[in-house]
Structures are given as structure tokens and as C-alpha cells.
Amino acid sequence: MRTAITLTLMLAPMLAVCGSGESTHHDFELETVASGLKHPWSLTFLPDGDALVTERAGRLRLIDDGKLQDSPIGNVPKVAAQGQGGLLDVVLHPDFETNRQLVISYAHRTSEGVTTRVSKAKLEDNALRDREVIFEALPRSSTTRHFAGRMVFDDDNNLYIAVGDRGEKDRAQDTGDDAGGVHRITMNGEPAPDNPFLDDPGTNNTFYTYGNRNIQGMTRHPETGEIWSHEHGPQGGDEINIIRAGTNYGWPEITYGIDYDGSIISEKTHMEGMAQPLHYWDPSIAPSGMAFYTGDAFPDWKGDLFVGALVMEKLVRLRLDEETVKQEEDLLTDNGERIRAVVDGPDGHLWLLTDHANGRVVRLAQ
């Protein structure tokens, strides 16, 4: 089995340098690992250093020995690849080395409409085996927007699933409707045992938080284990939050943004019982992908939070003092590519996905 160190040595001679950049603390090169991906959405590393990449069109791809394999992983479910929908996140179970289990999120269509769905499966012989649906956000609707779909496991192997408001903003305050929040379940698809609304008959018992518009980044803090997220605002008001049990994050009752036609969504940015973001952007950067950097390749970045931007086509570095942003720096501003995913790689480098019809897997290296 290859280790992460082997991955670094193995990839180095195969990567093409496609640019360079600089920050307050480090200069770096941008290296292409793979290209020709159709709107890649998520990247996760296997224990042996290989990687899985989702393409929104519905393919799950393997990067083996630093090379993108031509044949996709088999037995991936049919996805609704329309609008913002398609194959979204892929996350390994914390015990993947022994159980080979992973989870995937995707947009799924029936005669009743489209929704965000999550399935678990075993990765065996280049295919997904024993595939089973463990979560489905209801009710379905006809829109093809705001599926969210980012996922992360906690220390107890519970799975957090972000579901967007589906472009129907009032759904985010309706706790009898799965849209517009974060759900926490077990791998059997049951509500996690200590979910905050288990005894509330008016709230679906998988809810962990609500009042979320469209979360496109989730990650665990490397020291506290808390789940951090960011979500798209409308025109302005993209937010960073810590996902805490039972919290209402306010959308659309409070917001720092306005609607796309310039109209006012809410006159309020604060309201009792609703959380304030740790940080927000106005104008919007359209954040997607999120990772704390923990590697050794860039020691002065250690502990910083990195966020990709779609509309603004950049990578944002945030320096934190606990829960306060002390410094913000924009990187890759001249690269001209939408950043969909940001991953703290096992080789000590940052890895990115670019969201284009000819999308790339790239990494930042010295």
C-alpha cells in the first residue's frame, strides 16, 4: 500500500507546472495533476494515496498513480445532471480501510421532482457495490438550483449532509421541510442519537441546523473537531459559520445580501434567536470548497482556512484567531478559473478542482 509520502514522490515528475503565485507568506507553483474532467465537483483521497473525483455529469473517476483513469468507477447511480444538479460530493467513511464504505450525494429525479439524495456503497473492483440510499430530502420540487450536497463525518461516524433551499427561500425556515439545513444521520440512515430536534414533533428529526441557504463548503476543524461551513448568499452575504446543534442561521429572515434583481429580501441583518456569521462577503465571491491547511509544505499557512470562489475565480486564504478572521488574502486572482473544491492533501499540499467543461485537478506546490 502506497503512503502519502510515496504519493508526493510519485506525482512530482508527472505534473505539469501551469502557473505560479505568491502570497504574504509563501510563493508557490500551480501544477496540473489531471485535466479533461467535465465540471469536477469533489475530490477525496484513498488511504493508498490515489484519489476519487466526481464529475457533475454523473461519473466517478479514479486518479491512480498520479494518472486519471479512462474508465469511470462502475455502478454509480443515475443522476439529474441539470442546472446545478448532478453527481456532487464523495466522502470516505472514517473506517474505509477496513469496511471500504463511502457516501455520495447527488441530484435525483422522479415524476415528483428533483431532490438531494445520499447513497452509501462499498468501493470494490473499480465499482460501487451494495449501494443503498440512506437519505433523501423531501419534498421534491421542480427547481434545479441549490442542492448543496457537501458532507462530512464527525468523531462518532455520524454524517452531516447539507441541503440547500432549492431556490425557494421560505423553505429554509420550515422545519417540516428538509430543504435549507444540515441533517445528521447514522450510516443506517437513521437520525443521529442526540440530534437536537428528536423530541420536537414540528421538526424533522434528522435536522441538525436550519436557516441555511446553499452550503457549498464543509470541513472539520483540525483541533476542535467542529464542523465549519460556508454558504452562498444571494447578491452579497456569502457566509462562514460553525455548524452547531439546533442553530437557526437566519436565511431568509436575516441576510447581508439583496436579491439578484436588486430588491430587498430582508431589512434585517440581526434577529434574536438567529446566528450571526463568523465572516461574510459583500459582494459575493460564490464560495465553494473549504479546507483547513495542516501540511508542512507551506508552514506559515498552517491552520489557515482556504475557500474557493466560483464567480470571483480565486482562492481565499483566511487567518483566524479562534473564531475571528484576522487576515484575508486573495490568491490565484489572475488564473481565470472557477474553484469548485479545496482539499488539504495527504502529501502536505493544497489540491483544487476547477469548475469548467474541461476541468482540472491542480495542486499548489513549492
pLDDT at residue 21 greater than cutoff 90: no
Using only the alpha carbons of the chain, give its radius of gyration. 19
Report the pLDDT value the prediction gives residue 156, as an integer from 0 to 100.
Answer: 97
Provide the domain count of the chain. 1
For residue 206 the three cell numbers come to 434528522
Residue 53's nearest CA partner among 93, 18, 94, 91 is 91
Burial class (CB in 10 A: 0-12, 13-18, 19+), 301: buried
pLDDT at residue 2 greater than cutoff 60: no
Split at pLDDT 50, 70, 90, the class of 5 is very low
3-state class (DSSP) for residue 181: strand
Report the pLDDT value the prediction gives residue 7, as an integer from 0 to 100.
Answer: 41
Distance of CA 353 to the CA centre of its chain: 11
Report the pLDDT value the prediction gives residue 16, as an integer from 0 to 100.
Answer: 66
Report the pLDDT value the prediction gives residue 107, as an integer from 0 to 100.
Answer: 98
| 45-81 pLDDT tens trace | 999 999 999 999 999 999 999 999 999 999 999 999 9
pLDDT at residue 17 greater than cutoff 70: no
| 152-210 pLDDT tens trace | 999 999 999 999 999 999 999 999 999 999 999 999 999 999 999 999 999 999 999 99
pLDDT at residue 88 greater than cutoff 70: yes
**Structural element, H or E, at residue 8:** helix 4-11
| 248-279 pLDDT tens trace | 999 999 999 999 999 999 999 999 999 999 99
CA–CA gap between residue 102 and residue 160 (Å, rounded): 13
Report the pLDDT value the prediction gives residue 186, as an integer from 0 to 100.
Answer: 98
Average pLDDT for residues 99-119, to the nearest whole number? 98
| Mean pLDDT (the chain, rounded) | 95
Average pLDDT for residues 93-119, to the nearest whole number? 98
Split at pLDDT 50, 70, 90, the class of 6 is very low
pLDDT at residue 337 greater than cutoff 90: yes
Sign for the pseudo-dihedral over CA of 317, 323, 327, 328: positive
238: phi then psi, degrees, rounded to nearest 5:
-60, 140
Average pLDDT for residues 83-112, to the nearest whole number? 98
**Structural element, H or E, at residue 364:** strand 359-365
Report the pLDDT value the prediction gives residue 3, as an integer from 0 to 100.
Answer: 36
Q: What are the residue numbers of the active site? A: 146
Residue 159's nearest CA partner among 130, 181, 192, 196 is 192
CA–CA gap between residue 76 and residue 121 (Å, rounded): 9
Which residues constitute the domain of residue 341?
A: 4-365
Average pLDDT for residues 23-43, to the nearest whole number? 95
Report the pLDDT value the prediction gives residue 237, as an integer from 0 to 100.
Answer: 98
Report the pLDDT value the prediction gives residue 9, as an integer from 0 to 100.
Answer: 35
Split at pLDDT 50, 70, 90, the class of 15 is low
CA–CA gap between residue 366 and residue 196 (Å, rounded): 45
Q: What's 138's domain CATH number? A: 2.120.10.30
Cβ-based neighbours of 162, under 8 Å, separated by 6 or more: 148, 149, 150, 151, 181, 182, 212, 215, 216, 218, 229, 231
